[in-house]
């Protein structure tokens, strides 16, 4: 009986039992995938973490920025509404009273309305630029929120009940906007690369 040539590069002759170690997997050993078959990750090699776009910068606006943006829209809308109502009231009052003093007060009232509408436009502009703006938008928003807080403190000084309530609301909104702007998330959002 012939066991074949031990130097035969093509394996054992036909009809002979196959011995483990000659290129055939033993029972219980996993087979290697052939050509064109999907490769499974090997044990001990971890998967690479997903690549973050833009070097780890945020790709969507953080929640605090969204809240500050909505509050800027609300404040801007309320200021436009109050400015229009005040302008109508001043015009009606100046028509009712025909004197030089009333005309001077009406002119002063219209100047206050124009300033109020300018602040409303600034608030809406800042809210719009949150998605594309840079550090300058953040700094202007910090100044705007600080002015809101100072205005609310002036309402407290008036001592009237309506001034105190308005001061509380303005203080809360200004504080939320200011707190959102000095946050590390705001720094990351406004300093992100824009491609």
Structure tokens at 151: 């205005």
Residue matched to tokens 């036909």: 14
Q: What does the radius of gyration of the chain's CA atoms come to, in whole angstroms?
A: 37
Cβ atoms of 127 and 73 within 8 Å: the answer is yes
In tens digits, the chain (195 residues) has pLDDT values of: 555 666 666 655 555 555 555 555 555 555 555 555 556 555 665 666 655 555 556 677 888 889 999 999 999 999 999 999 999 998 888 888 877 777 788 888 899 999 999 999 999 999 999 888 888 999 999 999 999 999 888 888 777 777 788 888 889 999 999 999 998 888 888 888 766
Instruction: List the one residue out of 159, 152, 156, 155 whose CA is nearest residue 178.
Output: 152
Q: How far apart are CA 29 and CA 21, in angstroms?
A: 12
Q: How far is CA 145 from CA 19, 71, 79, 81, 114, in A?
A: 82, 11, 14, 20, 19
Burial class (CB in 10 A: 0-12, 13-18, 19+), 29: exposed
């Amino acid at each position: 009986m012939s066991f074949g040539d031990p130097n035969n590069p093509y394996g054992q002759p036909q009809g002979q039992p196959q011995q483990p170690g000659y290129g055939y997997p033993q029972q219980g050993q996993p087979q290697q995938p052939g050509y064109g078959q999907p490769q499974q990750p090997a044990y001990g090699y971890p998967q690479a973490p997903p690549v973050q776009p833009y070097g780890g910068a945020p790709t969507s606006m953080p929640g605090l920025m969204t809240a500050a943006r909505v509050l800027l829209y609300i404040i801007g809308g309320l200021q436009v509404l109050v400015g229009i109502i005040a302008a109508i009231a001043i015009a009606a009052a100046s028509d009712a009273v025909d004197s030089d003093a009333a005309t001077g007060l009406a002119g002063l009232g219209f100047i206050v309305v124009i300033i109020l509408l300018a602040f409303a436009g600034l608030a809406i502009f800042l809210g719009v630029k949150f998605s594309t703006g840079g550090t300058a938008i953040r700094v202007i928003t910090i100044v705007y929120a600080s002015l809101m807080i100072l205005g609310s403190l002036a309402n407290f000084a008036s001592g009237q009940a309506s001034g105190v309530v308005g001061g509380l609301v303005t203080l809360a909104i200004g504080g939320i906007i200011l707190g959102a702007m000095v946050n590390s998330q705001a720094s990351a959002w406004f300093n992100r690369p824009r491609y």
